[in-house]
Structure 1
């Protein structure tokens, strides 16, 4: 039991050090998009705002989703680092239950459990609100949230509405949301196009 308590404290400290949004108790269970159409959701989405995420260190963050023949989704996340290099990673997303297509699991590494990916709402053409939450020992949960758009900018009134939705649906503390810088991103477009054409790692 003592070892368990030590591990729990270490998790708390690690989360705090990385600025993650952590809370006591289990994850909330927000409502998700009804009648979610994964095919219409495919394509590139740009990050407008987010809860802190240790795995995101740059700017110009974007995600490109491609539907595969087996029904899974190829996920390619990319960001521009301070040294001017593009950092990207690819993974696979799967619908966990056919009756709830807006709830997916995303995996980037073999042997590592899927990360939850809940599409709370989207109009497919301009915005999407995504939430993710993981429980630890039933005593702690760490959550992530993203406001996404099909372009690198989103009208302030729309963003405000989506922020309110996150707060109402998942209890997200809006003061912890950070704005993603989406300027000076031309190299991202050139770099990702080059990767697609050549098949080389950016």
Structure 2
């Protein structure tokens, strides 16, 4: 029992800001007939479940194809007046389910789930990620993304309902700050973390 509690404490300390939920990850429906080519490009974060690794504002992610058919994933935020960027790699882990991507921001870490639950490709995308811890509890992440820095509240409300319909608890979802981004700190690809 002490080992179990030590493991739980260890994993929780790694993901401060996340709230663990009992049981395994839910299995939400993903975007049918997902078209990765149409999904590529720049997405702005409109809302998210709280995370330890996103603390700034003006959060966005740009997806582009690499020559080896993997995906270049560049995420950025402005934190304390400085642009922080990180580059990762994305892959389709199972061609039968192309909306279930895997993304890793480190060569030593495995690919984490990055599932596209819903997208119209030109306005919004709903993304979900979940990690089981010993199949006893799970930690999840959820994002509402947009091609623009704002969305109507009715669109956000509809997105929240989509998460809820898939047994994803988004009661703690917070809005992202996309104010003053273009004039505060424009960034380029040479500013990676």
* Alpha-carbon distance change, 37 to 180 in structure 1, aligned in 2, over 3 angstroms: same
- How many residues are treated as equivalent by the alignment? 193
C-alpha deviation, 1:125, in angstroms: 0.1
2:50 to 49, 52, 60: 52
Q: Which ranges in structure 2 are unaligned for 5 or more consecutive residues?
A: none
Match of 1:79 in 2: 77
Per the alignment, residue 22 of structure 1 pairs with 20
Assess if the C-alpha contact under 8 Å between 2:81 and 2:185 holds in 1: no
Give the structure 1 partner of residue 107 of structure 2.
Answer: 110
1:176 is aligned to 2:169 = no
Contact 1:21 1:144 in 2 (8 A): no
SS of structure 2 residue aligned to 1:174: coil
Contact 2:87 2:192 in 1 (8 A): no
Which residue of the partner structure matches residue 90 of structure 2? 93
Q: Secondary structure at the match of 1:36?
A: coil
Q: TM-score when scaled to structure 2?
A: 0.93
Match of 2:162 among 161, 165, 179: 165
CA distance in 1, matches of 2:13, 2:96: 38
Superimposed CA distance per residue, residues 55-84 of structure 1 (whole angstroms, 9 cap, x where no aligned partner)? 001001000000122221100000000x21
Work out whether 1:156 is the aligned partner of 2:153.
Answer: yes
CA distance in 2, matches of 1:200, 1:14: 26
Preserved CA contact (<8 Å) 1:20 1:54:
yes
Q: Is the 8 A contact 2:48 2:173 kept in 1?
A: yes
Residue of structure 2 equivalent to 1:185: 181
Distance 1:200 1:183, change over 3 A: closer
CA distance in 2, matches of 1:100, 1:188: 39
TM-score normalized with structure 1 length: 0.89
Distance in 1, matches of 2:156 and 2:141, equals 17
SS in 2 for 1:161: helix
Classify the secondary structure of the residue corresponding to 1:132: strand
Mapped contact 1:60–1:188 kept (Cα < 8 A): no
Q: What SS does the aligned partner of 1:160 have?
A: helix
State the superposition RMSD in angstroms. Answer: 1.7
Larger fraction in helix: 1
Runs (4 or more) in structure 1 with deviation over 6 Å come to none
Tell whether the 8 Å contact from 1:96 to 1:103 is kept in structure 2 after alignment: yes
Q: Distance in 1 between matches of 2:14 and 2:108?
A: 22
